Amino acid sequence: MQFYQYRGYDQQGGKRQGQIEAQDLQQAKIKLEKQGILVAQVRPVSEGAGALLGGLMSNKVSLADLELLTSELSILLENGVKIDKGIDIIKRTAMKPALVRLLSEVSGSLKQGSSLGDALAEQRGTFDSLYVNLVRLGEASGNLPRIFRRLSEDLKFRQSLISKVTQAVTYPLVIMLVCIASVFFVFNYIVPKLASLFEGVPDLPWYTSLMLGVGDWLLNYQMFLFLGVVLLLILGLIAWNNLELRQKLLARFFRLPGISRITLLIERIRFNAGLTMMLEAGVSVDHALKLAEGNLSHPDLKTEMSICIKKISRGGKLSESLAETSIYPAFYVALLQVGEETATLPRVFAEITQRSRDSFESFTTRITTLLEPLLILLMGGIVGSVVVVMLLSMVSINDVAF
C-alpha cells in the first residue's frame, strides 16, 4: 500500500485535497471517484525532491499533529459523530503521511473490534500511558468528548512550553553563530591581507603577534577544527541513542546552575497537569501518581517520586510523602494539606499547575529579556576586540616606522 496526494473537486464544485492510501495510482483514482471527487491531480507522495524531503520529515507523528488530531476528535465527538466515523473524516483531510498511516491503523483496529484505548495503545511511541488510560476511562464513563478536550488543552500547553524553551535557546545560539562567523571572516579574509604589512617588522606588540598567530592557525587547521566539531556531534548522537549514557548525561545537565530551576518548573507542570486530568476523570490517587510518574524526565525526580508512591501505597499520608520530593516546596505542601482535609485534591493540583505555569512564563520572559542585551554586548565585545587589536597593530607600525 502507498499514499497518494490528490487535488480535485467535490460534486458541488468545492476544492478538495488530501492523501489517500491505495495499492496503485489507478486504485487511488477509483477510490476518489467512489467518494464523489472529480480528480484534477493524483501523485505518489514520494515524487520529487521536495516531496522526498517532506517524506523524510514526516515519518513520525509530531506533537503538533497529535494536538490537532485530539482537538478535531473532541469537536467531532461533541457534535455527535461516532469515533470510527470521526477518524475516517480526519484521515481524509490529513496531509501528513505519518498521520494518515496512524489513523488507518487505528481505524483498522476499531473495525476488527478493538476498543479505542487498545487501538491507541498499539501505536507505541505515539500515545503515552497517560493518554491511553484517560481514553479508556472516557470510553468506560461515556465521557470521551470531555477527555479529548482536556487532552487537547494539555497538548497545546506542551507545544507552548516547547516553543518557549526553543525560543529561549535559539536566540543565544543565533547570536553566538553570528559572532563566530564574524570572527572567522575577519581571520580568514582581513587578517591575512594585513599580515603582509607586518613582514620584516621587528619587536611586534604581543597583541599583534597573537592576532597573526591565531589567523595563521585558523588558515592551516580550521578544516580539522570543523571535522572535530562534526565528530563531537556524531559522538553526541551516539551517546543520545544509548539509554544508559543518555540518562547520565541528562542527570548532569539537569544539575547545571539555571537549568535545574527551569527543569524543576517544567517537571512540576507536566506532573501536576497529568494528575489533575486523571483525578478529574475518577482515577484513584495512588494509580494516578503511578501514571503521572511516567511524565517525569529527571532521573532524580523519578527516583524521589517512586519512593513517595511506595510510602503512599503502604498507608502514608499524601501531603507528607509528597513533601519529601523536590517537586513540592512548602507552600504547595500546605495547599495539598488543605486539599486532603477538604477532599478537593483535583482543584489543588490544578491550582499548583496554573501557578507553576505562571512562574515558568515569568521566568522565561525575564531570562530572554536579560539575555538579549548581554549577548549583544558579548558579540560586540568579541568582534570589537578583534577590530581594536587590528587598529592598534596598524598604529604600532607607524610608531616603529617613525
Nearest 5°: CA angle at 66, between 60 and 67? Answer: 145
Quote the distance between the C-alpha of residue 269 and its chain's center: 15
**How much is the pTM?**
0.67
Are 179 and 171 a contacting pair, CB within 8 Å? no
Helices 144-185 and 63-78 meet at what angle, rounded to 10? 160
Most distant pair of Cα atoms in the chain: their distance: 95
Confidence of residue 45 (pLDDT cuts 50, 70, 90): low
pLDDT digits (tens, 9 = 90+) for 276-333: 888 887 888 888 888 888 778 777 888 888 898 888 888 888 888 888 888 898 889 9
For position 313, what pLDDT does the model report?
85
- Which range is least confidently modeled, 97-111, 164-178, 239-253? 239-253
C-alpha cell at 203: 619587536
Cα(29)–Cα(33) distance, integer angstroms: 6
Cα(61)–Cα(8) distance, integer angstroms: 26
Cα(280)–Cα(191) distance, integer angstroms: 67
- What is the mean predicted confidence (pLDDT) over 385-390? 81
Report, in angstroms and rounded to the nearest whole number, the Rg of the chain calculated over CA atoms.
29
- What is the mean predicted confidence (pLDDT) over 16-21? 72
- What is the mean predicted confidence (pLDDT) over 363-385? 81
For position 130, what pLDDT does the model report?
79
C-alpha cell at 199: 613582514
For position 48, what pLDDT does the model report?
43
Are 45 and 3 a contacting pair, CB within 8 Å? yes
For position 227, what pLDDT does the model report?
92
C-alpha cell at 241: 541513542
Confidence of residue 113 (pLDDT cuts 50, 70, 90): confident
On the question of pLDDT at 217 being above 60, the answer is yes
pLDDT digits (tens, 9 = 90+) for 235-286: 888 877 776 777 777 777 767 776 778 888 888 888 888 888 888 878 888 8
Half-sphere exposure of residue 93: CA atoms within 13 angstroms, side-chain side: 11
For position 361, what pLDDT does the model report?
83
SS3 130: helix
Cα(176)–Cα(382) distance, integer angstroms: 10
Q: How far is CA 10 from CA 7, 14, 46, 69, 138, in A?
A: 10, 5, 25, 24, 35
Mean pLDDT of the chain: 80
For position 46, what pLDDT does the model report?
54
Cα(273)–Cα(287) distance, integer angstroms: 15
CB-based burial, 296-323: b 16+ in 10 Å, e otherwise: bebeebbebbeebbeebeeeeebbebbb
For position 59, what pLDDT does the model report?
59
